[in-house]
Structure 1
Amino acid sequence: MDTIGDIDKGKLPKHIAIIMDGNGRWAKQKGKLRVFGHEHGVKTVRETVENCANLKLQYLTLYTFSTENWNRPKFEVETLMKLLVSSLRKELKTLNKNNIRLNAIGNITSLPSKAYKELLEVMEKTAGNSGMTLTLALSYGAREELTSAVKQISTKVKNNIISVENIDETIINNHLYTHDLPDVDLLIRTSGERRISNFLLWQIAYAELYFIDVFWPDFSEHHLVEAIINYQNRERRFGKTSEQLN
């Protein structure tokens, strides 16, 4: 079994993104309500964040709540928002202890006022931290993000701030929620599902994808290590040939 000591620290991915899937099914397997799974999923978040910080990972992004998740049963959504508030309060000390800066992407103004206020407060109190940047994707959808970017750029073209001829990847990137984050190197999805689910569609253009048949509450340090070592054993060519890289 691979351990953290087996990871090549010189080849760490700069940015890992995780689709934390399977809380509800994990709870259902145990004859519990879906919220039971979400509660246990919070513990896995804490452990994963600390493991990544200990590895000196620079960026970790977690798909916490999607734009589509608002369509879930009212009780489940309310519980998730309460969990968000309580988790942010509890984890502030741990974030500062581990020199982690909290960031958020998505339409966060759509969050309940209590959750929005708590989020901004923790982001402000960790803004000076210089270690890992932990980004929570909240009320996030990649299509909405891209639509928003197109609208912003179109308005600037209309007002002669940007010319159509100058629109390139950099311009588009600068108008995304993730404008201050590097592209994703490794995308992990738990629960056995093999799809992207409207997550960081622009930013994962050349990411290595890793799907694991484990529900999120059971995702452990061992699984994280496996994913990173799997990533390190891949050849990232970015459109080039192996010969060109060598």
Structure 2
Amino acid sequence: MTPAKPAKNATPHPPEDYDVRISDLLPYYSFFHKETLNFVKSFPSSPKVWMDTGCGTGTLVNKAIEEFPDTKFLLLDPSEGMLNQAREKLSSCPAKRLEFLKASPTQKFSQKLEEKPDVITAIQCHHSLNRKARTKATKVCYDLLKEGGVYITFENIRPLTEEGIGIGKRYWGYFQLTHGRSEEEIEAHLKRFDTEYFPITVEEHLELLRKTGFRTVELFWYSYMQAGFYCIK
């Protein structure tokens, strides 16, 4: 039997470079994490189990584990390299508070969990999927959640008009230019729109989340060409 190939890193950056480069690429990236934590802090009680899919190098969990001392965190990513970086980053945390799941894209995740999560986060990890795979990934998160559980996701989004797409790209490109990226790097990145990642509009996100079955679906962040949503099962 031929062994399964390890899942590849789905981002354009190698795992060891990811943390350094992502903040120069995505405006307000650190605030995606900060506001996610603030939002979960506003809940009547802390989550018992929190799953972070597309966890990358474990940056969100590294922040959250100090803020939520009674929460167990499950980490999932398509890339074994990213998971290894996360293991290293979180090596000083109590082992009983962490579970590293087998590397898998969200839409193909099938591992059985001992307990359904109260919270699932998916920060900038599903925008490279086509519509069918995105729908599947969203349904996987819905099915995994406890009843009353909360799904929080941030994604690249498509402006509503062709003119808006052009303006959004220039705006985002200018941000990258002011953060040290070369014009060649910026051009290469913006060319990935609709070729390597496939954003949908805010309206389409809201429709997808409602059709998946969430009883409450809300937009709670929008900046440049990224948006954040929260949903309650």
TM-score by length of 1: 0.35
Q: Higher RCO, 1 or 2 (CA under 8 Å, sep at least 6)?
A: 1
TM-score by length of 2: 0.37
Indicate the structure (1 or 2) with the bigger Cα radius of gyration. Answer: 1
